């Protein structure tokens, strides 16, 4: 087999065989297929697309390019959730304990990474003492006992995807449905998921700018998952403005604590209930999505969801007294209200711009070497559609430096106030089941 023939076949719009796809991915992983051939291949896929069968084969070829996590010692159906980007997205922190409280095993492998705020592990480290340095046996034992544990990323998962994603980034081939869908799904499957729930974001803060594009990606991923034997569902949700009110690490932990008790922002709660219902249903713990939602509401109200969060934190060294007294979480020195400059209605809060403002405060990493400040971030006081009076706080800034002029300007630039009433955006555009 020769890579040049595979490229030509795809260039001419033909369907590749399983063996041809495996040849390309294995060769690229071990270096016998060079970057220039893989670039041409990615561009051919970009223009010619892939059939469902090719997409499933590409996904599994990437899964098998490196290590896979064996969660067979964890009892029950392991459901993983993935969100495609977003700003101040607190759903992971809420969903873990929420579904664990219903007996759904959450065996989460998480990373730190770059972004507006930290990754899930960074956020959890706002809880004093909490750590993710667990031996594998300990990790499995905790998931079986408590139904939830989080461990740091280890091993060599989907090296083909790492290499290919970096190559796509510099060859204008990121924005291709078969390539994005196989990239995301390969990582979830390699991490041991039996079933997968996807939260595909749409809007200014998201990868997919329109609901239409997001639906195409969601459907592609749901088909891949089901075609390779992982029950998969998706939600298409709005990220034109940030989800919830908190953007920052300790601030999001506090927001998660509130939401686990049904006292969080309504949009965050609603999305967590929708995604959580799919997780509970796919794990076989409820007979319908509606029944799953009712059970989730029950554990929010009877304290079991919060209890699951405490048990989880305690098992990994965390000081659970922060749950009852969130003022024990890291606090910023300066807490400054940013006043509205006009009367009117909030028409726009550009999610990625606000996220960048939080990052400038130190809430996220601009480069791999940056240190995160867990205490800093932003609390939105208004969301799109809310009425606002001149001088009323729009956003509360939590900073550890007095020098926040640039941040203030960035926030003002990202929020538009209109004289006319504005409708709040729809949060959940759609759900995709098989
Ligand atoms: N996120 C991924 O993990 N892969 C892509 O290709 C795009 C977004
Ligand atoms: Ca949030």
Q: What pLDDT digit, counting tens, does each position of 248-285 carry?
A: 999 999 999 999 999 999 999 999 999 999 999 999 99
48 assigned to active site: no
Query: Ligand 1 atom 2: the closest Cα is on which residue?
Result: 184
Residue 208 tokens, joined? 């997919």
Query: Could you say which of 64, 78, 81, 168 is catalytic?
Result: 168
pTM higher than 0.85 for the full model? Answer: yes
Q: How far apart are CA 127 and CA 134, in angstroms?
A: 17
Query: Could you say which of 182, 183, 186, 237 is catalytic?
Result: 183
Q: Ligand 1 in contact with 412 (CB < 6 A)?
A: no
Q: Would you state the pLDDT for residue 368?
A: 81
Q: pLDDT tens, 185-220? A: 999 999 999 999 999 999 876 778 888 999 999 999
Q: Ligand 1 in contact with 180 (CB < 6 A)?
A: yes
User: Element (H or E) spanning 292, and its range?
Assistant: helix 289-301
Q: Which residue ranges of the chain lie beneath pLDDT 70?
A: 205
82 assigned to active site: yes
**Is the sign of the CA dihedral 302, 305, 310, 311 positive or negative?**
positive
Q: Ligand 1 in contact with 121 (CB < 6 A)?
A: no
Is residue 70 classed as helix, strand or coil in its secondary structure?
coil
Strands 377-380, 246-248: pairing kind: antiparallel
Q: Ligand 1 in contact with 62 (CB < 6 A)?
A: no
Decide if 71 contacts 108 (C-beta within 8 A). no
Query: Ligand 1 atom 6: the closest Cα is on which residue?
Result: 180
Decide if 174 contacts 50 (C-beta within 8 A). no
Task: Give the number of the ligand closest to the Cα of residue 174.
Answer: 1
Q: How far apart are CA 199 and CA 221, in angstroms?
A: 11
Taking the CA of residue 174 as reference, the ligand 1 atom at the shortest distance is 6
Is residue 272 classed as helix, strand or coil in its secondary structure?
helix
Q: Would you state the pLDDT for residue 154?
A: 80
- Please give the distance, rounded to the nearest whole angstrom, from the Cα atom of residue 69 to the centre of ligand 2: 30
Q: Name the average pLDDT for the chain.
A: 95
Taking the CA of residue 179 as reference, the ligand 1 atom at the shortest distance is 6
Q: How far apart are CA 381 and CA 249, in angstroms?
A: 17
Task: Give the number of the ligand closest to the Cα of residue 90.
Answer: 2
386 assigned to active site: no
Strands 387-388, 106-110: pairing kind: unpaired
Q: Ligand 1 in contact with 113 (CB < 6 A)?
A: no
Q: Ligand 1 in contact with 184 (CB < 6 A)?
A: yes
Angle, CA 260 vertex, CA 353 and CA 72 arms, to 5°: 95
Q: pLDDT tens, 121-162? A: 999 999 999 999 999 999 999 999 999 999 988 889 999 999
Q: How far apart are CA 120 and CA 232, in angstroms?
A: 22
Q: Ligand 1 in contact with 165 (CB < 6 A)?
A: yes
């Amino acid at each position: 087999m020769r890579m040049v023939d595979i490229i030509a076949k795809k260039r001419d719009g033909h369907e590749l065989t399983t063996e041809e796809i495996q040849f390309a991915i294995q060769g690229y992983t071990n270096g016998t297929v060079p970057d220039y051939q893989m670039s041409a291949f990615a561009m051919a896929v970009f223009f010619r697309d892939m059939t469902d069968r090719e997409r499933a084969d590409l996904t599994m070829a990437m899964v098998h390019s490196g290590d896979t996590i064996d969660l067979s010692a964890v009892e029950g159906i392991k459901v993983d959730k993935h969100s495609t980007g977003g700003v101040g997205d607190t759903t992971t922190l809420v969903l873990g304990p929420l579904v664990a409280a219903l007996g759904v095993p959450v065996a989460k492998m998480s990373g730190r990474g770059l972004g507006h705020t930290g990754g899930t592990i960074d956020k959890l480290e706002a809880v004093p003492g909490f750590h993710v340095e667990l031996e594998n046996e300990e990790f499995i034992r905790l998931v079986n006992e408590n139904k939830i544990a989080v461990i740091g990323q280890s091993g060599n998962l989907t090296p083909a995807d790492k290499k290919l994603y970096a190559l796509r980034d510099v060859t204008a081939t990121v924005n291709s449905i078969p390539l994005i869908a196989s990239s995301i799904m390969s990582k979830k499957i390699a991490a041991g998921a039996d079933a997968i729930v996807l939260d595909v974001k749409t809007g200014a803060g998201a990868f997919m700018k329109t609901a239409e594009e997001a639906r195409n990606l969601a459907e592609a991923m749901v088909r891949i998952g089901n075609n390779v034997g992982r029950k998969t569902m998706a939600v298409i949700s709005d990220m034109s403005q940030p989800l919830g009110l908190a953007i920052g690490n300790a601030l999001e932990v506090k927001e998660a604590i509130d939401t686990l008790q049904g006292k969080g922002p309504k949009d965050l709660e609603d999305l967590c209930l929708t995604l959580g219902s799919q997780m509970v249903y796919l794990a076989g713990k409820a007979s319908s999505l509606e029944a799953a939602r009712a059970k989730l509401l029950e554990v929010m109200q009877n304290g079991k969801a919060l209890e699951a969060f405490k048990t989880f934190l305690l098992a990994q060294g965390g000081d659970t007294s922060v749950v009852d007294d969130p003022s024990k979480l890291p606090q910023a020195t300066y807490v400054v209200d940013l006043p509205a400059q006009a009367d009117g209605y909030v028409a726009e809060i550009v999610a990625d711009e606000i996220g960048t403002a939080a990052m400038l405060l130190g809430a996220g990493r601009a480069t791999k070497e940056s240190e995160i400040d867990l205490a800093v971030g932003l609390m939105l006081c208004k969301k799109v559609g809310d009425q606002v009076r001149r001088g009323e706080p729009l956003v509360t800034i939590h900073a550890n430096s007095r020098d926040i002029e640039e941040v203030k300007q960035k926030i003002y630039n990202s929020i538009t106030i209109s004289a006319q009433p504005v409708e709040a955006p729809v949060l959940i555009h759609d759900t995709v089941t098989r």
